[in-house]
Structure formats: structure tokens, C-alpha cells
Structure 1
């Protein structure tokens, strides 16, 4: 077991507001070499690191993220008040382009960048990819685009993006034509939908299991043949595993 077997889900979410540059940076400082984040678009088409289509949970504001232009979103606080109270009030929403400075400061870290289906539906695949490609310019080789929407990943691949990974919340048909065409370097899958009898070592693509909440469970999945696990408790698990 190595640090490379762990993915920080939305950064170090257990302690910090998810999908903020703060949570991502603290995950890296805690020893993460793989971070995962989500992408939604603003009204004017700028890519932001954000999970929900609505602003309620993270910002305690009404409306959808694409109801606001980028300059208005930059003034909001993404401190997750319902979960974390006011301790991180003032933590800004992070434009995706800010990921570049984090990765440049930490050369050993890669990012899994999830294209959210809500923005793909709202804006279309082309604008979503345009915004994402622009934001990740210069760090493309350090970023794996992932999504539940395989068609968006296939379009990204057609446009020259080299690193892609699929995400499933069900046990897929591993012979699916679109999956074979994509040939993902990794597949993220919900732990709850993996059959007990499944031989993970015989799957055609490496598997990352989400959402894992203990080191014991992480060890079990890795022993079954998973390539990695994704967790909200990145710092805690790396420390418990004595990997930092």
C-alpha cells in the first residue's frame, strides 16, 4: 500500500470545505499525491471547482451556479456553513484555472477533474470542454478528465485530450462499446454497487473505489484487486497507514 493508492475526494473534505483550493492544498500537504475535484460552469462559461448545481449547501445562497457570472461567484464564500459552521467563512469559490498553481507548486501530484453532468446538460459538451481545456492549459499531462458522461469524455479524446477516466454509480457492462472506445486509464465506481463475487483483478481497467471511510476497508478493497480508493478522510487514512 502506497500513497498513490489513495485519492483525496474533493480535497481533504473531512476537515475543510470541499472543492476549495484550501481543501485541495491541505490534502496535498497531508501527503496526497492524487486529488479529485468537480467542475461546473458560471453564467459566462468559466469553469469553477464546484460539485452541486445549486449554491445552497456550500454557499448558503439561493440559485444555481450558472445563474451567476464569474465575477459574482468570486465574491461568494464556499465555507459549507451547515456542516462546518462559520470557521471557514470567507473561503472563496475557486476558478478551475487556479489548480495550475497548486500543481506547479507540487510536481508529484496529479488531479482527477470531474466534468459534472448538470453543466454538460446546461451548456453542452463543446462549451464545457472549451472552458475546461482553457483552464487546464499547461497542466494537461497532470490531469485526468473523469465523468459519468462517457460521450463527453469521448469528445475530449477526439479533441486530443490524452488522459480520461470513467465514473459509475452502478456495475457496468464491461464490454460496453463506448467504454472500450474510451479505453479509460481508470474507472471510479461506487463501493455499494460492486458485486461480492466480482474479481476486480480480471477487469479490463484499473478500478478506484469510492467512498471509503476507514483504513480497514481500504485494505480490503486493495486486497480484492482495486487499484485505489477515494476518500474524504485523506489525511487521517494516510497518517493511520503510516504513509506520511
Structure 2
């Protein structure tokens, strides 16, 4: 078997939460680093502050990111801007002055890279606190200048429907389970993208559901796994080890 046959096809890579291998996730340094490495697709998470400001943050609680046992959704932007999000358990004291970015800052950065697509995840914690209409409206307002570069995604179907009502943005549904029921819901929703953690794919060789959507599989850690998923129908794979997997991709394509 030839090298090109062995190493192809390879899907496109998504830098999950930026270059979160080298920098605290969902921060501007992580996003900038991923772009500098050549990322064509980014993914980041969005929550709302108490005063309804969209910010990049995965966990509502700041314990993991800042070593602070506080709920960011109960803090105003003025309070949150004072907090350093340095992932102390992972990076120790390597970083000391990285803060929670506003979604507007990420959108501004995205606008300087017009060929890049961003998967913007609307987190359930904010949806529960503020309601889908408020959260989606606030996010869509900020992303309006870069709407063509964005895909708004969520595990919450109500939020996905709200995006369609309020914006021309492409949408994606993140599966909580890879099941027949989810397949039926996908056929009814007809999203632009279906997203799924690779660990939910229990069958190792079966083709992913066919439809008008594109598949993006998250938390992929190697070129081998990415190539196998591509043969099943995945067009994109997301990784939190972006530098490592990108290096493997480039090595394979050079062979």
C-alpha cells in the first residue's frame, strides 16, 4: 500500500478552545497561537456574565481555570475582568496575567483572518440561568460583523432553533448520545453540522449517519484516529492537542 493511500483521507482540523495544549483554554493567547500555527477552524465556548456580557469560558465555576470557587455567571464583567484564568493545576505559575476574553475580542480577532471558521459553543449553564432567547440574542449581536465565519453550536436544541430565528448564522447540534433517537432528531433539525465526541461512537467502522450536514468529531488525539474517522464520513475533527496533531498531519501529507 502506498504512503498516500495509507495516510489519506485526512479531515480538516479544529483547534478546540484554541491552542489549549500550550495556553489556558478559551483565551486570546490560545486563539492567536492556533491561528499562528495555521488553524483554519477554531472552537471556543461562550457564557454570559451577570450583566449579560458574552465571554469565552467553558466552566461556569472558576475553580479549574482560576483556582477560585466562584460562579462567573453571578459576576459582572467588571468583576470578572479582574480574574486571571491561568489553569493553575495544568500550568502552575507559568501564566499570571491572562484574563477571560469578551466574545467581542474573539470576534475582532476572527475578523482579521477571513478564511477562518469559528465553531462557537453556547453553553448550557448560561441557557439555564438566562434563557435561550437572551443568550442567543446577545451572542448573535456580537457576532454579526463576522457571521459568515461562524457556526453557532449547542447541545440544547432550543438554543439551535433560536439561532435560526434570530440570525443567518450556520448552526450545529452537539450530540449527547449517538443513538437512533438522535438520528431522528437530526433528520428533523437538518443542521449544517453535527458534532459528537469520538468516545460516543461505539461502532468502530460503521459509516456516520448520512445527511445534508457535515460531521465534526471532537477530542481526537492522533492522526491515525482522524484518518479512520474520515473514512467513516467525518469532514472535520477537533483536538485539544492541536500542535501535536497538526504536526502529524503535515508529516503524513509530506510522505
**Deviation at residue 101 of structure 1 after TM alignment:** 1.8
C-alpha distance in 2, partners of 1:180/1:201? 10
* 2:170 corresponds to 1:163: yes
Indicate the residue corresponding to 1:206 in structure 2. 214
Task: Tell me the C-alpha RMSD between the 2 structures.
Answer: 1.9
**Deviation at residue 56 of structure 1 after TM alignment:** 0.6
**Deviation at residue 184 of structure 1 after TM alignment:** 1.1
* 2:184 corresponds to 1:176: yes
Indicate the residue corresponding to 1:14 in structure 2. 21
- Do 1:20 and 1:94's aligned partners in 2 also have CA atoms closer than 8 Å? yes
Matched ranges for 1:207-226 at <5 A: 207-226=215-234
- For normalisation by structure 2, the TM-score amounts to 0.89
Matched ranges for 1:1-244 at <5 A: 5-172=12-179, 173-177=181-185, 179-196=186-203, 197-200=205-208, 202-203=210-211, 205-242=213-250
C-alpha distance in 1, partners of 2:154/2:244? 27
- Do 2:11 and 2:234's aligned partners in 1 also have CA atoms closer than 8 Å? no
Partner secondary structure for residue 145 of structure 2: coil
Highest Rg: 1 or 2?
A: 2
**Deviation at residue 152 of structure 1 after TM alignment:** 0.8
C-alpha distance in 2, partners of 1:207/1:106? 23
Query: CA deviation digits over 1:56-95, x for unaligned, max 9?
Result: 1001112111121001111111110111111121101101
- Do 1:201 and 1:226's aligned partners in 2 also have CA atoms closer than 8 Å? no
**Deviation at residue 120 of structure 1 after TM alignment:** 0.2
Indicate the residue corresponding to 2:5 in structure 1. none
- For normalisation by structure 1, the TM-score amounts to 0.93
- Do 1:47 and 1:131's aligned partners in 2 also have CA atoms closer than 8 Å? yes
Query: CA deviation digits over 1:112-164, x for unaligned, max 9?
Result: 00000010000011210122012212011111000000111101101233300
- Structure 2: 5+ residue runs without aligned partners? 1-7
Query: CA deviation digits over 1:171-191, x for unaligned, max 9?
Result: 0435534x3343211111011
Q: Which range is displaced more, 89-98 or 166-175?
A: 166-175
C-alpha distance in 1, partners of 2:202/2:15? 24
Q: Which range is displaced more, 165-174 or 40-49?
A: 165-174
Q: Which range is displaced more, 153-162 or 43-52?
A: 153-162
